[in-house]
Amino acid sequence: MLKGRSLVEPKDFSIEELDGLFQLAEKIEKDEKYLRDSCRGKLLATLFFEPSTRTRLSFEAAMLRLGGSCLGFAEPGSSSAVKGESLADTIRMASSYADAIVMRNPKEGAALLASRYSNVPVINAGDGGHHHPTQTLTDLLTIRQLLGKIDSLTIGFCGDLKFGRTVHSLSKTLAHYNKIKMLFISPLELNLPEYIKKYLKKLNCEFEEKENLEESMPELDVLYMTRVQRERFFNEDDYIRLKDTYVLDSDKIACGKEKLIVLHPLPRVNEISVEIDSDPRAAYFKQAKYGMYVRMALLASILGVEAD
Ligand code: NCD
């Protein structure tokens, strides 16, 4: 049962619970009337202390499609955070107004702290360079829909694996599935953090670290491209030097399998050339739409309007 539960880190939900959410999202996708109005009278607070397009809009669209309402802010400048209010106090307030809270914050650990001060479920919509578990729900639902399974796949992650929170959450979750192989393709300076590698090793998950994208392409079932996370760099020169290390274009995708799918959490900057958008293997815009369905399933489950 997910009713009343927070989602702060990927490990908060078991593989069986994720499976239940994907089945529910698939039902909603097939029949858009399913669960319509089931959240009538419920309020979702969306507290975004960092920029967002897809995550915030898809959560709001999800809540509105379920018949509920949303309140909140899209930038910290319009909240009392600028007056020096602590996150704990902001959360105490929001949790007395709303039935659930979705929060994005630049500090690692902010969602965990929020969940400790909240009387209602808290959903982590990104805490600094740490985690982004609802993007993982989006990514896994897309893989399941387009490849028909999540087990026995080779997944390549490419780009900024150091600061890319979507990579951290997805790789940790994939490590719980069967026969998964992960290739982490990045410049040395943007390697996956040690704590994630330790986690994968503990679960005996097969993975390799690489620097060359072309070499890895033929092996992949899924290529997960990411943007270099400019806002997390201490030094703009380092960002400029590293930002275009990988650009997926027609020459590179030509070495990929016919059934490869290319995912990207978006926003894209330069790392996927626009010529790839019309390639049947490009799945990133579909992925963004699945994000709304899986967030509907998540909200319906934690608000208890759908027995899971
Ligand atoms: C990602 C994020 O915020 O971490 N975006 C998203 O939520 N779809 C990826 C990114 O910003 O690069």
pLDDT tens digits for the chain (308 residues)?
Answer: 899 999 999 999 999 999 999 999 999 999 989 999 999 999 999 999 999 999 999 999 999 999 999 999 998 887 888 888 899 999 999 999 999 999 999 999 999 999 999 999 999 999 999 999 999 999 999 999 999 999 999 999 999 999 999 999 999 999 999 999 999 999 999 999 999 999 999 999 999 999 999 999 999 999 999 999 999 999 999 999 999 999 999 999 999 999 999 999 999 999 999 999 999 999 999 999 999 999 999 999 999 987 54
pLDDT at 77: 81
Round to whole Å and give the CA distance between 126 and 265.
12
Neighbour-count burial of 53, counting CB atoms closer than 10 A to its CB (0-12 exposed, 13-18 middle, 19+ buried): exposed
Mutate to test the pocket of ligand 1, among 54, 166, 190 (most ligand atoms within 8 A of CB): 166
Looking from the CA of residue 50, the nearest atom of ligand 1 is 3
**Radius of gyration from C-alpha coordinates of the chain:** 19
Looking from the CA of residue 226, the nearest atom of ligand 1 is 12
pLDDT at 82: 81
pLDDT at 161: 98
Structural domain boundaries of the chain? 10-131+291-302, 133-288
Round to whole Å and give the CA distance between 51 and 129.
14
Catalytic residue among 27, 54, 197, 286: 54
The H or E element spanning position 46 is strand 43-48
Catalytic residue among 5, 42, 131, 132: 132
Domain pair 10-131+291-302 / 133-288, same fold: yes
CA 263 from centre of chain: 11
| CA distances from residue 20 to 72, 178, 226, 298, 308 in whole angstroms, order as listed | 29, 18, 28, 10, 6
Task: Considering the domain delimited by 133-288, tell me its CATH architecture.
Answer: 3-Layer(aba) Sandwich (3.40)
Span from the CA of 266 to the centroid of ligand 1 (angstroms): 6
Question: Tokens representing 306?
Answer: 């759908």
Round to whole Å and give the CA distance between 229 and 186.
13
Round to whole Å and give the CA distance between 48 and 50.
5
Catalytic residue among 104, 162, 168, 172: 104
Round to whole Å and give the CA distance between 150 and 179.
9
The answer to whether the CB of 124 is under 6 A from ligand 1 is no
Which residue CA neighbors atom 7 of ligand 1 most closely?
Answer: 55
Span from the CA of 16 to the centroid of ligand 1 (angstroms): 26
Of 44, 54, 104, the closest CA to residue 79 belongs to: 104
The answer to whether the CB of 126 is under 6 A from ligand 1 is yes
pLDDT at 306: 74
> Catalytic: 132?
yes
> Catalytic: 104?
yes
Q: Which amino acid is at 115?
A: S
> Catalytic: 55?
yes
> Catalytic: 83?
yes
Round to whole Å and give the CA distance between 281 and 259.
7
The answer to whether the CB of 55 is under 6 A from ligand 1 is yes
The answer to whether the CB of 165 is under 6 A from ligand 1 is yes
The CATH classification number of 10-131+291-302 equals 3.40.50.1370
pLDDT at 211: 97
> Catalytic: 179?
no
pLDDT at 81: 83
Looking from the CA of residue 229, the nearest atom of ligand 1 is 12
Q: What is the 3-state secondary structure (H, E, C) of 83-120?
A: HCCCHHHHHHHHHHHCCEEEEEECCCCHHHHHHHHCCC
- Angle of CA points 39, 43, 49, to nearest 5°: 130
